[in-house]
Amino acid sequence: MSEDFDDFTLRAIEEETQRDLNRFYSQKMSLYDSAMRIFKKNISNLDLIYQMNQRVPEGSLLDAGTGTGENLQYISQEYVVEACDINKDMLKEARNRYQDKKNITFTKADLRHLPYPDQSFDAVVCSYALSGSANYLKAFQELIRVTKKGGFIGVLDFLYYHEYPPGGFGGINLEGLIDRTSLPLVYQEQAEASTLKVGLYVLKKE
């Protein structure tokens, strides 16, 4: 049997993978925050927001793949914030947690197809969400697209991510992805987290 796939088949596989990921995160949402603390032991969401705040102290900010809203507790009122996630259950949880923050708007959106014009945001942050996308390369390109020239993109995720949840949805090589970009890298930090390595990267769009 041939292992060649046409574009239609590849897109169908990608969409099914994304549906599987969405089901997984909906089913495990009650355990999500406690499980993620394992990966945040040495580099946290607070570190990500701090690095961005040092470079863009105010303006428009996208929290891409907000999940249950972990980043939002650290983002100051000086930002106009758009928080998006593809999973409606996690987005509902984030909205409930931060409904009193009037500077935040919540939108259901797929990282691979962000519903924002080019150069919409002064800053974009994305924590452990590229690894939850069925096509992390396309998602990363979207983060770059919606960032303004002179703006910053902050990513916190696994340096190498493979077959999690068990059974696997493929893998992500974050370090390789960052290396391939032509954007200047202005900050990086790595740490061990459980049996995995995580990395925090800040890039500038010129």
Mean pLDDT over the full length of the chain: 82
Distance of CA 157 to the CA centre of its chain: 8
CA 159 – CA 176 distance, rounded (Å): 8
pLDDT above 70 covers what percent of the chain? 73
**Tens digit of pLDDT for each residue in 41-88?**
567 889 999 999 999 999 999 999 999 998 999 999 999 999 999 988
What pLDDT sits at residue 23? 61
Lookup: tokens for 18: 């994304």
User: Of 60 and 192, which is predicted with more confidence?
Assistant: 60
Can you list the domains of the chain with their CATH numbers?
Answer: 7-204 (3.40.50.150)
140-174 pLDDT, tens digit each: 999 999 999 999 999 998 887 655 444 444 457 88
